[in-house]
Every structure is written in C-alpha cells, then in structure tokens.
Amino acid sequence: MRILVLDGVSEKGIDILREPGFTVDVIEEKLSEQQLVEMIPAYDAVVVRSATKITAPIIAAGVNLKVIGRAGVGVDNIDVQAATQHGIIVVNAPDGNTIAAAEHTLALMLALARHVPQANEALKKGKWLRKEFTGVELRDKILGVIGLGRIGTAVAKRAQGFAMKVIGYDPYITHERAREIGVELVSLEDVYREADFITVHLPKTKETVNLINREALAKMKPGVRIINVARGGIINEQDLYEALKTGKVAGAALDVFEVEPTTESPLFELPNVVVTPHLGASTEEAQVNVALDVAREIVTILQGGMAQNAVNMPAIPKEDALVVKPYLALAEKLGKFISQLTSEFENIEITYAGDVACINTAPLTTAIIKGIMESYSDVPVSYVNAVQLAKGRGLRIMETREEEAHDYTNLITVKLTGGPCPKAVGGTLFRDNDARIVLIDGYRIDMVPEGYMLVAPHIDKPRIIGRVGTLIGEHDINIAGMQVGRKQVGGRAVMVLAVDNVVPEAILGEIAKIDGIIDVKFVSL
Ligand code: NAD
C-alpha cells in the first residue's frame, strides 16, 4: 500500500502510517491539479490539510485510491461527492483541533474587545496611545454562538468563564443539550437582535454561505462585534465591509476568508478589523492530534476495518464500535451469500432480531448492501457507495427489528423479494463471535460462512444427496461438509455442501438434471 502525504501533516501521524509497513511519500511543495492527476494512480491513500484541493479530476484519476484523509475538520477542499461516486472513503479528524479553534476564537474576541493588535502596532511604531484604545469588557455581554457543535460548545463554555451570557442558534441540537452546556437556545433573529458579540461555528454549506449578509447585519445590535473562525464565505465580506464602515458593526475578527490564501482585502485596511491567516487549528497540540487521528483512520481502512470519522459513510460512534464490529463481517457475508442465490429482486428486506436489534445497525445494513452489490456492480463497491449503487438500481431497502430471535440470541435475516423466486438467508453470532449461516429460505442449517458452497433446494427423497456427492467426487472436488435442512419428510428440503474447489458451470448443469433437484447454485464467499 502506498500513501501520499501533502500539506505538512505532522511527523507523528506519518510514523503511524509507516508502522504497518505502508510506503509513505511526503511531498512538501504545493502540487498543481495536473501534477496530482499524474501522480495519484500510484496511491491507495492521500492525506491533506487545507491547502491542497482534491478535485473531481484527481479523484477520477485515482484508480487505486481507497481513502482520502483530511487532517482537520472542514472537507470543503475535497470533492466529497466525486469521492462517494468512486467508492472512496473521505475521513477527517473532527476532534483534534476543537480546543485550538475555540481558544483562538476567545483570543480574537479579547483582541477585538481590547484593541490588542492595534495597540501593539501603534506602540511598536512609537505611539503611546491610551484613550484611543479604550476597550469594552466581556463580563455581562451577550455572546451569540451560531452553530453549537464541537467548537461552538467549547467557545460557549469558555465564554461563561468570562461571565458572558451565552445564547445560541443551532437547529440541529436539542434544548436539553443546550441546557447542559449552559446556552439559551434561541432563533437566529434573536441572536441578531440581542448579541453584543456574534461568533459563527458552522460548516460551510449551501445553507450557511452568505448567512451573515446585508440583511442579517441590518438586524444586529448597533456596535455588535463579529468573529469568524469557521469558514470564509459564511460572512459576506463586502456586506461586512460596509457595515464596519458605517459603524453598525464595531469590529470584526476574521481567521478565514472567502479566498485563501490572501494578503489583500479591503477589510485589511479598516482599523476595526483584526485578522489572522487561518490560524484556528494552528497549535502544536492540534496539529499532532489531527495527524494522529487521521493516520489511525487510514490504517484501519487500508487494513479492511471501518472508519470512525468517515464523512461519506455511516460512521460508527466510538461507544458503538465494540458491539457493532463483530457483526460487520457476518452482515457482509450474508449479503454476498444471498446475492449468489438470485439476481431477480426489487427489495432488500433486512430483519435484525434479538440482541442485534438493539444496536446501531446502520453500518450493518451498509455491509449487507455492500455484499449484495458486489455481485451486480462493475464499479468497485465499498461502504461508501454501496447504498447509493443499490438505490441507483431502484432497489428498495427495508429494515425491521424484532425483539425475539427465536432459538438464537441474535439473528440477522436478509430477504431478496419482488422477483419470481424470493430468497432468504439468516445468520447469527454464537459465543466468541463464531459466525454461522443458520437459515436458508426458512430451512435450518448450520454452516460457517466461508469458502465455496453448493446450495441445492430439492425434494426430500432417497438417492439425491448420494448422487450429487458422487457426481462431484467424480470430478475430483472434495466435499468438506454437508447440511440438509428440511421441514417435513418427503417435502422440500435444501442441501448445502461446503466444497474445496470451484464447481464449474458444466457440473452444476449435470447436478440440475438429477431427478428431484429443484435448483443448484454455487456460492463463493
Ligand atoms: P461541528 O460539525 O461539530 O459543528 C457544526 C455545528 O453547526 C453543528 O452543531 C450543526 O448542527 C450546526 N449547523 C449546521 N448548519 C447550521 C445552520 N444552517 N445553522 C445553524 N447551525 C448549523 O463542527 P466544528 O468542529 O464545531 O467546526 C465548526 C467550523 O469550524 C467548521 O466549519 C470547521 O471547518 C471550522 N474550523 C475552522 C478552523 C480554523 O482553523 N479556523 C479550525 C477547526 C474548525
């Protein structure tokens, strides 16, 4: 495996990437899109910070690319949609720089309140100015936090240490969560109307670009101070410039800009603007943290595991990982198994019963769909694009949960329905996570889900199993195990043979001709 590391990702993360024996190429200089398009086919993974843009053409050229790692939070420098279409996982490191960004927000807020940069500059130029730099206190001021995720929350908590009253707007968090962090959840209009300081901690999305524009600024308190340590473009720079000029906004502190990097902006000429060149995450600690986090994710993914912080697939929260992971391989095998029994279906019906019904099953459903779609897709199927591929084929995915798993403690059943011959397969984890297929079309069996198998529904009568065995034996194919599931003597039954070699089509044709055999399928797991 080969990994390309760009943008000066911390050495400690690079060490983690080298540990499993992966080849890691670290390139310090900035590469053009064309250079990356030429280089990328050699790589299984690429890691960037914010400088390099991983665009659709680079992703399309990355024929071996499995994962794109962003050592940081924002992924607006990565074309996530293109990555998803190509089945490439995008992972970020959302936790590592929370404190750095929150502390920088506080630093900027204090700098704004007390004119620290302006006073520093004046004094160093030989001007002892005191009256001009009279500031305001944070105590008893109202801080409006827009976006109460990781950083917004950390900022809110720290602002409370300065005795500020914190109000916030975030349509995606509950009042209970807001209460826990000591923030009064209000409408956006109320934030504009009441706040003395407003800080944005939002992702840059269609919804949030230009959120703070002329209309929003007009609704704010005269003399409001505004801070952006999130993403450039959330605040419209032209509109902010005008509001600063008129004095409607008393000051603004900006760490991020619509175009980056930049050393020129009308905003830089205003005395009431404090700027830093995207330094929010730039602490020694944060750079190490994000590099370690993203490197661990990349190693996990390249070794076949599931990511914790994937941007474009259902992530497994840390607290769920221990209980979900043992089921993942079984889920994928069930999908792969059933997809080889029929190709005519419209619905994928999944039932989680018993213990497995109570856990986060989203990753398991993805694993099942991945197993199924591998039989039907000519593009590589991964956890990222599996569900999208299934939906693109018009397949309906249905999920149900049942408390009772009959004779098992847990049971996952996958049915392919809507075609002429619906199929069903069920699997369970016994003690020590010992995976078994225990049901095929309602017949009980007990097979380890691995290797090669023949699945043959038939009529339960003498001389069928023997003839199948003899025929296979005559072609030098060893039978490693056999199970027959039946409901009543003389009725329908299903025979499953574990075999040591691939069974060629011609032999399957001969088996199908044996009197009493209803169908025969070769399954490879
Ligand atoms: P997060 O995902 O934890 O939080 C974002 C919050 O915004 C979520 O709670 C979400 O519900 C909320 N939100 C989304 N859309 C919204 C909307 N339209 N209105 C109100 N709330 C909305 O992210 P985070 O880790 O707190 O990061 C916040 C921002 O800071 C991101 O844009 C990230 O890229 C940026 N960031 C910048 C730096 C820097 O160097 N300046 C460093 C780290 C993070």
> Hey, which residues are catalytic here?
231, 260, 278
Span from the CA of 147 to the centroid of ligand 1 (angstroms): 6
Spell out the CATH class of 2-96+285-302: alpha beta
Any idea which fold 318-524 has? 60s Ribosomal Protein L30; Chain: A; (3.30.1330)
Span from the CA of 229 to the centroid of ligand 1 (angstroms): 9
Position 81 scores a pLDDT of 82
Ligand 1 is surrounded, with C-beta below 6 A, by 73-74, 94, 97-98, 101, 146-152, 169-173, 201-204, 207-208, 229-231, 255-256, 278, 280-281
Question: 314-323 — which CB contacts under 8 Å span 24+ positions?
Answer: 314/362, 314/363, 314/366, 314/383, 316/360, 316/363, 317/360, 320/359, 320/360, 323/359
What DSSP assignment string belongs to 406-450?
TTSSEEEEEEEESSSS-EEEEEEEEGGGEEEEEEETTEEEEE-S-
| pLDDT surpasses 80 at 377 | no
| pLDDT surpasses 70 at 461 | yes
> Using CA atoms, how far apart are residues 367 and 336, in angstroms rounded to an integer?
10
| pLDDT surpasses 90 at 297 | yes
- For the stretch 55-74, pLDDT in tens is 999 999 999 999 999 998 88
Segment holding 184, helix H or strand E: strand 184-185
| CB 68 within 8 Å of CB 313 | no
Residue from 362, 468, 350, 364 nearest 415 by CA: 350
Position 311 scores a pLDDT of 82
User: By percentage, how much of the chain surpasses pLDDT 90?
Assistant: 79
Q: How far is CA 520 from CA 249, 420, 487, in A?
A: 76, 16, 19
Lowest-pLDDT choice from 51-55, 221-225, 322-326: 322-326
Read off the pLDDT band of 380 (50, 70, 90). low
Lowest-pLDDT choice from 377-381, 412-416, 427-431, 514-518: 377-381
Regarding predicted confidence, which is higher, 384 or 166? 166
| CB 503 within 8 Å of CB 522 | yes
Read off the pLDDT band of 317 (50, 70, 90). low
Neighbours of 477 (CB within 10 A): 19
Q: Do the domains at 98-275 and 318-524 have one common CATH topology? A: no
User: By percentage, how much of the chain surpasses pLDDT 70?
Assistant: 98
Beta bridge partners of 492: 459
Position 74 scores a pLDDT of 81
For the segment 337-361, the average pLDDT, to the nearest whole number, is 94
The closest-lying atom of ligand 1 relative to the alpha carbon of residue 172 is 11
For the segment 302-331, the average pLDDT, to the nearest whole number, is 80
Phi, psi of 202 (to 5 degrees): -115, 155
| CB 145 within 8 Å of CB 227 | no
The closest-lying atom of ligand 1 relative to the alpha carbon of residue 151 is 26
Position 315 scores a pLDDT of 59
| pLDDT surpasses 90 at 337 | yes
For the segment 290-301, the average pLDDT, to the nearest whole number, is 94
Span from the CA of 288 to the centroid of ligand 1 (angstroms): 21
Pocket test for ligand 1, best of 50, 70, 95, 202 (most atoms within 8 A of CB): 202
Site of tokens 């089945």? 87
| pLDDT surpasses 80 at 314 | no
Segment holding 165, helix H or strand E: strand 165-169
Read off the pLDDT band of 240 (50, 70, 90). very high
Regarding predicted confidence, which is higher, 433 or 338? 338
Write down the number of H helices and E strands in the chain: 17, 22
Segment holding 191, helix H or strand E: helix 188-194
Read off the pLDDT band of 383 (50, 70, 90). confident
The closest-lying atom of ligand 1 relative to the alpha carbon of residue 234 is 32
Beta bridge partners of 78: 54
Residue from 397, 408, 405, 346 nearest 367 by CA: 397
CA angle at residue 521 from 518 to 522, to 5 degrees?
155
Report cis status (omega within 30 of 0) of the bond before 363.
Answer: no
For the chain, domain boundaries: 2-96+285-302, 98-275, 318-524
For the segment 357-380, the average pLDDT, to the nearest whole number, is 87
| pLDDT surpasses 70 at 454 | yes
DSSP 343: S
Segment holding 471, helix H or strand E: helix 464-474
| pLDDT surpasses 70 at 318 | no
- For the stretch 92-115, pLDDT in tens is 998 899 999 999 999 999 999 999
> Using CA atoms, how far apart are residues 169 and 199, in angstroms rounded to an integer?
11
Beta bridge partners of 249: 224
CA angle at residue 322 from 44 to 88, to 5 degrees?
20
| pLDDT surpasses 90 at 312 | no
> Using CA atoms, how far apart are residues 109 and 199, in angstroms rounded to an integer?
9
Any idea which fold 98-275 has? Rossmann fold (3.40.50)
Read off the pLDDT band of 418 (50, 70, 90). very high
Regarding predicted confidence, which is higher, 465 or 305? 465
Residues written for the chain: 525
Position 316 scores a pLDDT of 67
- Name the average pLDDT for the chain: 93
For the segment 449-472, the average pLDDT, to the nearest whole number, is 93
**Exposed (0-12), middle (13-18) or buried (19+): which is 52, by Cβ within 10 Å?**
buried
Q: Which two tokens stand for residue 376?
A: 């039907």
Lowest-pLDDT choice from 185-199, 246-260, 478-492: 478-492
For the segment 299-312, the average pLDDT, to the nearest whole number, is 84
Position 252 scores a pLDDT of 98
